[in-house]
Amino acid sequence: MTTQPSAPSAPLTRFVSVEVTRMASDARFLVLMLGMPVGMYLLFTNLPGTSQSTGGLAPQVGAMISMAAFGAIGTALTATAPRLAQERATGWMRQLRVLPMPGHRVVAAKVLAAMIWALPAIVLVFAAAELDHDIRLAAWRWCAIAVLLWLGTAPFAALGLLIGYLTDESSAFAVMYGVYLFLGAAGGLWMPVPALPTVLQRIAHTLPSNRDAELGWSVAAAHGPSLVGAAILVGWLAAFTGTAVLAYRRATATR
Amino acid sequence: MTEVAVDFRGVRKEFGDVLAIDALDLEIRRGETVALLGANGAGKSTAVSLMLGILAPDAGEVRVLGEPPDRAVARGRIGVMLQDGGLMPGVSVASMLALVTSMYSTPRPVGQLLVEAGLAHLASRRVDRLSGGQTQRLRFAVAVAGNPDVLVLDEPTAAMDAESRRSFWAHIRSFAADGRTVIFATHYLREADDVADRIVVLAAGRSVADGTPVQLKTVAGARTVRFTLGDESDAGLDRLPGVTVAEVHGTTAALRTVDVERTVRALLAAREHVPDLEVGGAELEDAVIALGGSSRTAPSRRSPHEGPDVLPTRGDDR
């Protein structure tokens, strides 16, 4: 008698690519999450008197990084929360539970797929900034900022999954959008933290949105990213991922 | 390698105050086609969930192909069609199957799955744009995509029309003919009778009967004759010809019989008044009670005079 070998680990890449390609057919996602930050950036930096500097950076550069982070965060959330809520409603998550694909790998694939879509969100804002304001940065600095902002998007993909488990199909997008706007505003992405109300200033630096953008601001201002900031991001990532994996197991374990 | 496909030993599962599975012992051997038959709430879905490692038992042990269920699932040895399982929204039929087959080490080719499911011409259609019947066929293709040793189906035909059901069971029979194990939960007695070579009847989380369809038919009886007993005695009712079980609920007598005509003739001959006389098919619930021993008031039981030629059905063509 033969013993069947364990299922191969190759499906992760296929799972990620299926997740990525099907997002391309979602028009709301493409327009709202990729287009909106570009529009907001052009608006903020071209209205007279509204530009404020962030961390000693030129307003066009500070806002570019803020809006790139905002776009990447929105993309990561939209690629996860409403989709997951829909997949729970259609029973796909239940079926997935009885396929040879462990829960942590499902969560990893969804986080990766969301992050792949976050990359064009960052690049589009950078392109708009470069075209509109002729921003001068060393090539490696552009790349470093983009990569750091991108890596800093991971906690939001995990947060999106968590929201997808805690809401249902009809409420997922609204809840996600509320969280998104809060993270953008309170994290100092719309206006610099010192310009926020005092209450928000106190919590701004604990938020992952602020710490994500901060990675980019630091590199643009020629001082290295803060370790505290990176640690806070990793903490949020661990917290959201852990809770999402737990939620995955719980959601499929109900009768 | 073990010859036992699924093994429940003293399994117990509660949800709060509700005892869903109670001291269940069940051994299903490889190659068997087994129906888990029972009314809603009998514990079928819970048994299926335990079999797949979706739920863990509160007591006892479940093993599938000699290993813990979630291990068997992770190794791709079980194919599953869940009652409320679904498909990944927004992808094409072909990429859905490509994704699922990529998870197994020895899958069936996607092309073969498409042809078997009758979906070859719809390979590029999005799964959320399929008709109900097409969706069910794709779900079945997903279940068998990995060439599983054991196929588990939880009320697979609940959403199907009569024609889809026929072709669905034809697929299952050819799948089982390869010597694979098929386990399906159903509340349709006729499905269990037509497809299974063994029927396990679940009631209140226990296995109350277990045997071949022929064995169960003999015990279950076929039709029920009811009339209002009023104040008269029920003496002798269980000795009427054809009657297997005679029960009295309040003022109503219910006689399960394998020969309606003889029973009714004898009944009318023996009693001056038989008010509200009616004849009905035995409900599945009644059959289950007949099989498992009744909790109702004073049922009298005796061996059937002869085997019925049809199984009682309920709701089969609802």
State which H helix or E strand residue B290 sits in.
helix B284-292
pLDDT-derived band at A255 (thresholds 50, 70, 90) equals: very low
From chain A, the residues in CB contact with B95 under 8 A are 18, 21
Tell me whether residues A4 and B55 touch, CB distance under 8 A.
no
Measured between CB atoms, does A30 come within 8 Å of chain B?
no
Q: How far is B30 from chain A (nearest CA, A)?
A: 13
Count of CB atoms situated within 10 Å of the CB of A139: 7
Asked if the structure places residue B276 within a domain, the reply is: yes
CA atoms within 13 A on the CB side of A58: 11
In terms of domains, do B101 and B137 share one?
yes
Q: How many domains are contained in chain B?
A: 2
In terms of domains, do B241 and B97 share one?
no
Q: How far is A164 from chain B (nearest CA, A)?
A: 15
Q: Which residues of B fall below an 8 Å CB-CB distance to A? A: 1, 15, 20, 45-46, 49, 52, 54-55, 73-78, 80, 82, 84-91, 95, 98-100, 102-106, 128, 139, 142, 146, 149
Name which of A7, A83, A97 is nearest B75 (Cβ-Cβ).
A7
Asked if the structure places residue B316 within a domain, the reply is: no
Q: What is the CATH number of the domain that holds B234?
A: 3.30.70
**Which tens digit of pLDDT belongs to each residue from A162-190?**
999 999 999 999 999 999 999 999 998 88
In terms of domains, do B167 and B264 share one?
no
In terms of domains, do B185 and B243 share one?
no
Restricting to A residues 168-187, those with a Cβ less than 8 Å away from any Cβ of B are: none
Q: Which residues does B37 contact at the CB level (< 8 Å), separation at least 6?
A: B44, B185, B186, B187, B189, B192, B199, B200, B201, B202, B284, B288
Q: How many CB pairs under 8 A join A and B?
A: 103
Interface with chain B: mutation pick from A98, A105, A255, highest number of B CBs within 10 Å: A98
Alpha-carbon dihedral A128, A131, A133, A139, rounded to 10 degrees: 90
d(CA A72, CA A51): 21
**pLDDT of B38 higher than 50:** yes
Tell me whether residues B75 and A253 touch, CB distance under 8 A.
no
**pLDDT of B264 higher than 50:** yes
From chain B, the residues in CB contact with A7 under 8 A are 74-76, 103-105
Q: What is the mean pLDDT of residues A121-133?
A: 90
Closest listed residue to residue B55, CA positions, set A164, A91, A98: A98
CA atoms within 13 A on the CB side of B168: 24
Residue A54's pLDDT is 65
- Predicted TM-score (pTM) of this structure: 0.78
Tell me whether residues B103 and A11 touch, CB distance under 8 A.
yes
In terms of domains, do B235 and B115 share one?
no
In terms of domains, do B41 and B61 share one?
yes
From chain A, the residues in CB contact with B149 under 8 A are 4
pLDDT-derived band at B149 (thresholds 50, 70, 90) equals: very high
Q: Considering only A64-78, B25-39, B124-138, B222-236, which range has the smallest mean pLDDT?
A: B222-236
Q: Which residues does A198 contact at the CB level (< 8 Å), separation at least 6?
A: none
Asked if the structure places residue B17 within a domain, the reply is: yes
Q: What is the CATH number of the domain that holds B142?
A: 3.40.50.300
What is the span of the domain harbouring residue B273? 222-281
Residue A52's pLDDT is 62
Residue A37 near residue A74, CB atoms below 8 Å: yes
Closest listed residue to residue A229, CA positions, set A193, A191, A180: A193
Asked if the structure places residue B55 within a domain, the reply is: yes
In terms of domains, do B191 and B96 share one?
yes
Tell me whether residues B73 and A100 touch, CB distance under 8 A.
yes
**Which tens digit of pLDDT belongs to each residue from B208-252?**
888 887 777 666 656 788 899 888 888 888 888 888 788 888 888
Q: What is the mean pLDDT of residues A205-226?
A: 88
**pLDDT of A138 higher than 70:** yes
Alpha-carbon dihedral B154, B155, B156, B162, rounded to 10 degrees: 170
3-state secondary structure of B249: strand
Residue A132's pLDDT is 85
Asked if the structure places residue B297 within a domain, the reply is: no
Asked if the structure places residue B313 within a domain, the reply is: no
From chain B, the residues in CB contact with A88 under 8 A are none
- Top pLDDT among B111 and B270 is at B111
In eight-state DSSP terms, residue A136 is -
Angle at alpha carbon of residue B40, lines to B25 and A92, rounded to 5°: 90
Asked which of B190, B217, B244 is the last residue of a domain, the reply is B217
Asked if the structure places residue B187 within a domain, the reply is: yes
CA atoms within 13 A on the CB side of B161: 6
pLDDT-derived band at A252 (thresholds 50, 70, 90) equals: low
d(CA A12, CA B173): 33
Asked if the structure places residue B312 within a domain, the reply is: no
Tell me whether residues A98 and B15 touch, CB distance under 8 A.
no
B200 phi, psi to nearest 5 deg: -110, 120
Q: Which residue of B has its CA nearest to A9?
A: B103
Q: What is the ipTM metric for this complex?
A: 0.83
From chain A, the residues in CB contact with B40 under 8 A are none
From chain B, the residues in CB contact with A8 under 8 A are 102-103, 105
In eight-state DSSP terms, residue A33 is I
In terms of domains, do B71 and B85 share one?
yes
Measured between CB atoms, does A27 come within 8 Å of chain B?
no
Interface with chain B: mutation pick from A1, A4, A23, A252, highest number of B CBs within 10 Å: A4
In terms of domains, do B85 and B170 share one?
yes
In terms of domains, do B170 and B75 share one?
yes
Asked which of B194, B217, B240 is the last residue of a domain, the reply is B217
Q: How far is B45 from chain A (nearest CA, A)?
A: 8
In terms of domains, do B69 and B184 share one?
yes
pLDDT-derived band at B110 (thresholds 50, 70, 90) equals: very high
Tell me whether residues A91 and B146 touch, CB distance under 8 A.
no
In terms of domains, do B143 and B156 share one?
yes
